[in-house]
Amino acid sequence: MMHSIAATNVGWTAKFRELFKARDIFLHDGKSLRRFTIGARVQMAAAFAAFVLLAWCAFATFQAMAAMNSDVVEMQRQVARMQADVAQMRTETQQHAAMLERRQAFLAEMLSGDADAAELAQMLPQAEAAGHNPLTRSYAGVEGMQQELAAQAKAATVARYRETAQAVRQLGLNPARFHRARGGVGGPLEEVDNADPRFRELFASWRQLEQLEQGVAAIPSARPIRTEIAFTSGFGVRSDPFRGRAAMHGGIDLAGPIGTPIYATADGIVQRSEWNSGGYGNLVEINHGQGIQTRYGHMSRLIARPGQRVRRGDLIGLMGSTGRSTGSHLHYEVRIDGRAVNPIPFMQSTESLAALQRRLDAPVAVGGPAGGSR
């Protein structure tokens, strides 16, 4: 066995020697012949160098391929990350755009002039949860203008509330009467969670104004007679025309020809339209809500029917001299919480309150120099 291995080794060594034996190379350049001898060691060194070069090339190629492969994997990861980023950006941007649209719809509805509180409460934009990215930031201009519009709407609402409340106070009425009567400022607001605080505030001030303005519709602020009024008797203690002694007169007397049209001085529901044996004669009584009533006495003809809903300015009867009356006139009363008050300030308020009430049909005015300055 040892012998055969040794013999094989001897065989291989022989082959090796045979491979790298000294070789002669002849070069003929056309004139002379030259001879080069390349020794076995040189050949072996060259072969070794060639082998090392080959091995290095193989190694380097392998390394380069491995590196390329890991680059490809990294690139694939990056592409996946970018795709995820783009998808997220798209979602965020869609959410942001939807939010801006909701805010716009809310503002448009609120400023439309006939917004319904419950509907508007449902439209309240939610506080923004979506993240920001370069795409959503490109909406910053629109968003800024929207915020400004919201701020202006709030300022206009608050100013209009103050003005209306002032006119109401001048009549000796507390504006809070109209909030209480309509269930306070709460109501539908409670149904909205997570509303954007700025829009929630705007909604709260709008709702307060809306309640007051609806309350103002109940305030008798028109004149019951459209023709020139002949004022014959004022409110308060006076000499009773029948008994000749001092008596409280709970209204005012306005004289005119029999048949002069008489109009409701505010929106309400006709509570009474009947003969009154207490001295009013043919009497119409209108309940305006919020504890406010008006009475119209001595009519020659009753036109409004009990239970009928009337608007300010609706014809309710014709002037006459029925009941305890000495001549054709209207006895007109304004009653707050069941107590007769002087109707004169209410009639004098006609201009300012009627102006306020005309505005009930007009949206909250928003504008001013800040509006278009961007």
The residues that touch Zn ion, with contacts defined as CB under 5 A, are 253, 331
Which are the contacts of 177, defined by CB distance < 8 A and separation ≥ 6? 215, 290, 291
CA dist., res. 73 & res. 82, Å (int):
14
DSSP-derived secondary structure letter, 217: T
For residue 307, the minimal CB distance to Zn ion (Å) is 26
- 100 to 58, 86, 87, 90, 116: CA distances (angstroms): 62, 21, 20, 15, 21
| C-beta of 96 vs 298, nearer to Zn ion | 298
For residue 288, the minimal CB distance to Zn ion (Å) is 20
| C-beta of 207 vs 335, nearer to Zn ion | 335
CA dist., res. 93 & res. 132, Å (int):
8
Strands 339-341 and 301-302, bridge-based pairing: unpaired
For residue 226, the minimal CB distance to Zn ion (Å) is 20
Ordered DSSP codes for 33-90: EEEEEE-HHHHHHHHHHHHHHHHHHHHHHHHHHHHHHHHHHHHHHHHHHHHHHHHHHH
From the CB of residue 273, how many other CB atoms can be counted at a distance below 10 Å?
21
| C-beta of 175 vs 251, nearer to Zn ion | 251
| C-beta of 279 vs 291, nearer to Zn ion | 279
Specify whether the CB–CB gap between 203 and 121 falls below 8 A: yes
Q: Of all residues in this chain, which one has the CB nearest to Zn ion in the complex?
A: 331
| C-beta of 155 vs 258, nearer to Zn ion | 258
For residue 278, the minimal CB distance to Zn ion (Å) is 12
| C-beta of 138 vs 326, nearer to Zn ion | 326
Q: How far is CA 261 from the centre of its chain?
A: 46
For residue 251, the minimal CB distance to Zn ion (Å) is 5
| C-beta of 107 vs 330, nearer to Zn ion | 330
For residue 267, the minimal CB distance to Zn ion (Å) is 24
For residue 252, the minimal CB distance to Zn ion (Å) is 7
Residue of 212, 187, 210, 190 whose CA lies nearest to 109: 210
